[in-house]
Structure 1
Amino acid sequence: MKILLVDGTVLGRKTGAILEQVQKYIAQFDSSLELEILTFADYQHEIVDGRPFEQYNEGLQEMVKKIESADGYIFATPIFQGSIPGVLKNAFDFLHPKALRYKPVSIVANGGTYQHHLVVENQLKPILDYFRCLVTPNYVYTHSSHFDADNNITDQNVQERLQELARVFVKYCEMSKILPKETIDQH
């Protein structure tokens, strides 16, 4: 199974640092999974505006196809101004409505206040529910105080929750294998 660990921002390093740790934990639970970190900062983003998909830049087309063809996801997002970044929502707007159906998804997020964890519940989970993803019940929200100056996760509780997230995600990967997937017309 191809698993994308999606760093859903073009700013900062904390979401990438979280994904690197989750990647290690997933590999410990199932070394057969093909893991790849997809970093939004590596792409030139364009706003979805209704034009034919082929008219967007090649890198963006590649990114969308990579997301749609994966078998599971860890979505990582910072929380800015009480919301997910526009670049992440824009990426979801490119996806075919059936592209993520019955695929396992876990969520990690980070923010500057402890209250921002509610963004995962109120914004990100409804989007993923629309796509009918198999969203794991446990997500991990981190606060800037959980990192050192080099963006290493220093909080032991966060490490334990990330490890548990990875364990549950691997179980959801197993479950998703037996669910029928629909083929979609590519863009």
Structure 2
Amino acid sequence: MKILLVDGTIIGRKTGAVLEQVKTYIEEFRPEMELEILHLSDYEHQFVDGRPSSEYNEDMQEMVRRFNNADGYIIASPIFQGSIPGVLKNAFDMLHPRTMRYKPVSIVANGGTYQHHLVIENQLKPILDYFRCLVTPNYVYTHTSHFDDSNSITNEDVHDRLRELARVFVEYADMSQHLSKETIDEH
């Protein structure tokens, strides 16, 4: 199975650090999974405005190909100004509605206040529900205080929750293999 781990920001290091830790834990549970990190910061983004996908630059088309080719996703997002980054929403807007259908998805996020975990419930989950993803019930939200100066996670409870997220994700990935997949037409 190909799993795309999406670093949903173009700035900062904490989101990527959480994603790397999840990758490590998934590898412990299921070493045969093909795990690939997609850093949105590696792409030249264009605003999605409804034109045909062939009219976007090669980076945008490559990003869509990587989403299409994946069998599951870990979505990592920082919370800025009480919201997900615009670049992450723009990436979702580029995808066909069936791209992520019946594929497993886990969510990790980080922010500077404890209250911003609700952004996952109020913004990310509805987007993923629209795509009809198999969203695992346990997401992990980290706070700035959970990291040291080198952006390593120092909180053992966070590590325990990330391990549990990885365990549940691989179970959802197994379950998703038994669901019929619809073919996705390029748009």
- Deviation digits for residues 62-108 of structure 1, max 9, x if unmatched? 01110122000000000000000000001110111011000000000
What CA distance in whole angstroms lies between the structure 1 residues aligned with 2:68 and 2:77?
18
Report what 2:18 is aligned to: 18
Percent identity reads 73
What CA distance in whole angstroms lies between the structure 2 residues aligned with 1:163 and 1:60?
32
Q: In terms of mean alpha carbon deviation, does 45-54 or 108-117 score higher?
A: 45-54
Report what 1:172 is aligned to: 172
Q: 4+ residue stretches of structure 1 with deviation over 4 A? A: none
Structure 1 residue 60: deviation in Å?
A: 1.3
Q: In terms of mean alpha carbon deviation, does 47-56 or 150-159 score higher?
A: 47-56
Report what 1:150 is aligned to: 150
What CA distance in whole angstroms lies between the structure 2 residues aligned with 1:177 and 1:131?
17
What CA distance in whole angstroms lies between the structure 2 residues aligned with 1:90 and 1:147?
28
What CA distance in whole angstroms lies between the structure 1 residues aligned with 2:51 and 2:135?
31
Report what 1:34 is aligned to: 34
Note the residue ranges of structure 2 that are not aligned, 5 or more in a row: none
What CA distance in whole angstroms lies between the structure 2 residues aligned with 1:141 and 1:61?
30
Q: In terms of mean alpha carbon deviation, does 48-57 or 70-79 score higher?
A: 48-57
* SS of structure 2 residue aligned to 1:170: helix
What CA distance in whole angstroms lies between the structure 1 residues aligned with 2:114 and 2:64?
31
Note the residue ranges of structure 1 that are not aligned, 5 or more in a row: none
Task: Summarize the alignment of residues 28-67 of structure 1 with structure 2, pairs less than 5 Å apart.
Answer: 28-67=28-67
1:127 matches 2:102? no
* SS of structure 2 residue aligned to 1:36: strand
Q: In terms of mean alpha carbon deviation, does 117-126 or 63-72 score higher?
A: 63-72
Report what 1:96 is aligned to: 96
What CA distance in whole angstroms lies between the structure 2 residues aligned with 1:52 and 1:129?
24
Report what 2:74 is aligned to: 74
1:5 matches 2:5? yes
CA RMSD of aligned residues (A): 0.6
What CA distance in whole angstroms lies between the structure 2 residues aligned with 1:50 and 1:161?
38
